[in-house]
């Protein structure tokens, strides 16, 4: 494979000049530039990126960490990739599948300078582990987290969940079942929203069990089975994700129930499946969150001040409520 020296030799210039041409430096005469570019073209030469990275001390690539995929996360990934690309950064996606070791692969790549930064959508390892890697480069998360070494671009789920609950209330639902996802600060905020909600409207607590750690279609199916067995049934179910809502809806329909006549169902995230099944849900601007994440990383990389979007939730009314 051709290298910069060969180009220099063939073009009858020094490697420094070739390098200048490649990096679009000023102060190269048009004539020599032409000549160098011609040889580069002829030899199909590309700079060895490993050498460049070594020399520059940066790779201009950013890792994105997720546990698994779903349409919401993929929108985030897509937006982040696009905005990063515009600033000349590549992204690489790490799907940890919930395995700590897979997440550590990404973390270690940051440590060994293969990555300049990390955007951690959903973590697997404990925060203190991840935090210990911030000394090797910027790490920004999408999850709710209060840390001074790991900035977060989360959106306050309290507001979003309250929006959902208030809407259900306005439609006349009173006995509401909450389905929460993984135990994190987001969930705590949603719980707080529910507490405030029943207090504000002078409702008494439903006495329904707490569903936690439910986020998949399969979880939804289980919850539907629970619902079917109850004598004192919830009038509406406010779900952690559209997937859970989808699972509930389909399982209930299979069992002969009708939505929203028998029970109202609210999704969350406004993903494709919510559209497919006509689920009322909560939309929020993940694209802006992705852009904010990149802005924060960029600013940490070149110690500037980030310019951020402000963010808001939105209710999408469909036919499940």
Where does this chain bind DNA (CB under 7 A)?
1, 3-5, 12-17, 19-20, 22-23, 26-29, 31-33, 45-48, 51-52, 54-57
The partner in contact with residue 43, picked from DNA, a second copy, none with C-beta cut-offs of 5 to 8 angstroms by kind, is none
For a second copy, which is the closer residue by CB, 40 or 165? 40
Find tokens 């940890």 and name the residue. Answer: 96
Span interacting with a second copy, options 116-124, 176-184, 245-253, 284-292, rule CB under 8 A: 245-253
Output the smallest distance, CB 120 to DNA, in A.
25
- Out of 15, 22, 108, 175, name the contact with a second copy by CB under 8 A: 108
Strand partners, 95: 66
The partner in contact with residue 15, picked from a second copy, DNA, none with C-beta cut-offs of 5 to 8 angstroms by kind, is DNA
For DNA, which is the closer residue by CB, 148 or 302? 302
Output the smallest distance, CB 33 to DNA, in A.
7
The answer to the question of residue 113 lying near a second copy (CB under 8 A) is: yes
Asked if residue 231 lies in contact with residue 285, where contact means CB atoms within 8 angstroms, the answer is no
Span interacting with a second copy, options 67-75, 160-168, 174-182, 222-230, rule CB under 8 A: 67-75
Per-residue HEC secondary structure of 275-300 comes to HHCCCEEEECCHHHHHHHHHHHHHHH
CA atoms within 13 A on the CB side of 223: 34
Burial class (CB in 10 A: 0-12, 13-18, 19+), 306: middle
CA atoms within 13 A on the CB side of 17: 20
The answer to the question of residue 213 lying near a second copy (CB under 8 A) is: no
Rounded to whole angstroms, the Cα distance separating 77 from 144 reads: 17
Helix (H, G, I), strand (E, B) or coil at 94: strand
């Amino acid at each position: 494979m051709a290298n910069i020296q060969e180009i220099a030799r063939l073009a009858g210039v020094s490697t420094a000049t070739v390098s200048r041409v490649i990096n679009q430096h000023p102060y190269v005469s048009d004539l020599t530039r032409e000549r160098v570019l011609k040889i580069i073209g002829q030899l199909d030469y590309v700079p060895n990126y490993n050498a460049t990275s070594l020399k520059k001390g940066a790779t201009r690539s950013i890792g994105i960490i997720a546990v698994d995929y779903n349409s919401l996360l993929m929108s985030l990934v897509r937006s982040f990739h696009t905005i990063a690309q515009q600033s000349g950064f590549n992204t690489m996606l790490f799907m940890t599948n919930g395995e700590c070791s897979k997440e550590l692969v990404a973390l270690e790549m940051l440590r060994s300078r293969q990555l300049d930064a990390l955007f951690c959508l959903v973590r697997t390892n404990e925060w203190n582990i991840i935090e210990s890697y911030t000394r090797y480069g910027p790490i920004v998360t999408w999850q709710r987290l209060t840390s001074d070494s790991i900035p977060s671009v989360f959106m306050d789920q309290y507001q979003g969940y309250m929006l959902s609950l208030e809407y259900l209330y306005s439609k006349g639902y009173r006995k509401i079942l909450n389905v929460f996802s993984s135990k994190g600060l987001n969930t705590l905020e949603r719980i707080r929203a529910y507490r405030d909600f029943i207090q504000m409207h002078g409702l008494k607590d439903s006495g329904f069990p707490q569903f936690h750690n439910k986020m998949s279609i399969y979880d939804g199916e289980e919850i539907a089975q629970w619902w079917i067995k109850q004598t004192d049934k919830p009038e509406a179910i406010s779900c952690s994700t559209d997937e859970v809502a989808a699972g509930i809806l389909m399982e209930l329909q299979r069992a002969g129930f009708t939505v929203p006549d028998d029970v109202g169902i609210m999704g969350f995230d406004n993903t494709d499946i919510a559209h497919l099944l006509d689920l009322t849900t909560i939309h929020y601007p993940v694209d802006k969150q992705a852009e904010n994440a990149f802005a924060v990383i960029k600013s940490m990389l070149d110690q500037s001040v980030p310019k951020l979007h402000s963010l808001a939730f939105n209710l999408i009314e469909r036919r499940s409520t």
